[in-house]
Homo-oligomer: A and B are copies of this chain.
Amino acid sequence: MSVPTTINAVLLKNAPTGEVQFDYSAKDATFELSSKPFSESDLKDGFVLVKNLYFSNDPAQRGWIAAGQDASRGYADPVKEGDAIRSSGFGEIVASKSSKYSVGDKVLALLTWSDYQPLHEAAVFQKVDESEGVTAPVYLSALGYTAFTAYFGLKDILQLKEGQTIVVSAAAGATGSMVVQLAKHVFKAGKVIGLAGSDEKSRWIESLGADVGINYNDADYKEQLDKAIGPDCTDAYFDNVGGDMLSFLLTKVKKFGRVAACGAIAGYNDKSKLNVTTWTQIITNSLTVQGFVIFNYVQRFPEAIEVILGGISKGTIKVENTYHIEDLSKEEKPLAKVPEVWSLLFGSNKPNGKLITKIA
């Protein structure tokens, strides 16, 4: 691979106040494409140039680009208008002025939506070796942030014990599908109940190990959930959704039960959908609700990797089920379509597991 003469990127043009405007030609376009000249001499000491190969698509990115954020209260800085959209991903080093990394190294890093990325060596998360069964997409799914989120959410936040009941929302998503697999096969939960957006997804999470998958688009999904949980209520709820679903689940967690506050995809376009109406359940049933972000656990990633690799080698965690790749590498302008692929996260046609964009 050679060093490019231009770097192309997708920038934040207008931080969205409501829905994201994907149309580049619209007056209120959320994104714009940029192209800037580059030469190897631009690379400073200690930096590497990464050719970006895969992007991780994450709901959290929606928060990073939202208008009117209080920078002091987020767990990651907002993306400013004019800056490239941040995205974790996988790439290959094509130029290096770092003593730590060499041309040809494959790395995981916090990248941006761009074709090439100058990056300080300290910003590289880790160098990885692809091997049979543990390829680049696996590093972004079963061994990626969302998988670690599932692991620490179960172990530290929910403190899930063998035989317990757990409910997880957005169970066919990147985090949720790992919650299902880890809860059942590693933490030995007694009953795993997953909420997903279609009958097909519900069957799919059952194939991963959920005892019951429920389609939250069914009109009677709360009755189905109530029945699946049973009169003893659930020990734990892993919440990726927020709002009305969370408000209902708070009434179904047993006394001294635990709630992992992990995501809030119900409100990425409309925060009013995140209102919680059943807070007093936390009081009367002595619940513990704990919020967390995966960056709290960076020092313990090796622990998560070891556990997950163990599940993969035993065959209980099926890596082929943990991701879906949208391949843009054959497109004339792959970068231009990156936002559209990302938008699948928020739509009704969301693929199962981790959504990964291949751009080269």
Q: A73-B285, A246-B279 are in contact. List 13 more A-B contacts (CB 8 A).
A: A63-B280, A242-B280, A261-B283, A267-B280, A275-B275, A275-B277, A276-B279, A281-B291, A282-B290, A282-B291, A284-B293, A287-B291, A288-B290
- On whether the beta carbons of B274 and A261 are closer than 8 Å, the reply is no
- On whether the beta carbons of A283 and B274 are closer than 8 Å, the reply is no
- On whether the beta carbons of B276 and A275 are closer than 8 Å, the reply is yes
- On whether the beta carbons of A283 and B279 are closer than 8 Å, the reply is no
Q: Does A19 contact B (CB under 8 A)?
A: no
- Bound Cα distance from A63 to B290, whole angstroms: 26
- On whether the beta carbons of A75 and B285 are closer than 8 Å, the reply is yes
- On whether the beta carbons of B293 and A289 are closer than 8 Å, the reply is no
Q: Does A37 contact B (CB under 8 A)?
A: no
Which B residues lie within 8 Å of A283 (CB)? 261-264, 291-293
Q: Does A296 contact B (CB under 8 A)?
A: yes
- Bound Cα distance from A231 to B71, whole angstroms: 12
Give the distance to chain B from A303, nearest Cβ to Cβ, in Å.
18
* Chain A residues with a Cβ under 8 A of chain B: 63, 70, 72-75, 231, 242, 246, 251, 255, 261-264, 267, 271-272, 274-277, 279-293, 296
Chain B residue nearest to A292 (CB atoms) is: B286
Which of B281, B282, B289, B291 is A284 in contact with, Cβ under 8 Å?
B291
- On whether the beta carbons of A73 and B291 are closer than 8 Å, the reply is no
Chain B residue nearest to A289 (CB atoms) is: B289
Give the distance to chain B from A251, nearest Cβ to Cβ, in Å.
6
- On whether the beta carbons of B251 and A279 are closer than 8 Å, the reply is no
Chain B residue nearest to A281 (CB atoms) is: B73
Chain B residue nearest to A275 (CB atoms) is: B275
Which B residues lie within 8 Å of A282 (CB)? 261, 289-291
- Bound Cα distance from A288 to B242, whole angstroms: 16
- On whether the beta carbons of A291 and B296 are closer than 8 Å, the reply is no
Give the distance to chain B from A287, nearest Cβ to Cβ, in Å.
5
- On whether the beta carbons of A289 and B286 are closer than 8 Å, the reply is no
Chain B residue nearest to A279 (CB atoms) is: B276
Give the distance to chain B from A155, nearest Cβ to Cβ, in Å.
15
- On whether the beta carbons of A73 and B275 are closer than 8 Å, the reply is no
- Bound Cα distance from A271 to B262, whole angstroms: 26
Which of B70, B74, B277, B285 is A274 in contact with, Cβ under 8 Å?
B277
Which B residues lie within 8 Å of A72 (CB)? 231
- Bound Cα distance from A322 to B246, whole angstroms: 38
Centre residue among A263, A276, A282, A287 by max chain B CB count within 10 A: A282
Which B residues lie within 8 Å of A73 (CB)? 251, 281, 284-285
Which B residues lie within 8 Å of A292 (CB)? 283, 286
- On whether the beta carbons of A290 and B289 are closer than 8 Å, the reply is yes
Which B residues lie within 8 Å of A261 (CB)? 279, 282-283
- On whether the beta carbons of B280 and A264 are closer than 8 Å, the reply is yes
- On whether the beta carbons of A285 and B291 are closer than 8 Å, the reply is yes
- On whether the beta carbons of A75 and B286 are closer than 8 Å, the reply is yes
Give the distance to chain B from A285, nearest Cβ to Cβ, in Å.
6
Give the distance to chain B from A122, nearest Cβ to Cβ, in Å.
22
Which B residues lie within 8 Å of A274 (CB)? 277, 279-280
A-B contact pairs, 28 of them (CB 8 A): A63-B280, A70-B251, A72-B231, A73-B251, A73-B285, A74-B284, A75-B284, A75-B286, A242-B279, A246-B279, A261-B279, A262-B283, A264-B283, A271-B277, A271-B280, A272-B277, A274-B277, A274-B279, A275-B275, A275-B277, A276-B279, A282-B289, A282-B290, A284-B291, A284-B293, A286-B291, A286-B296, A287-B290
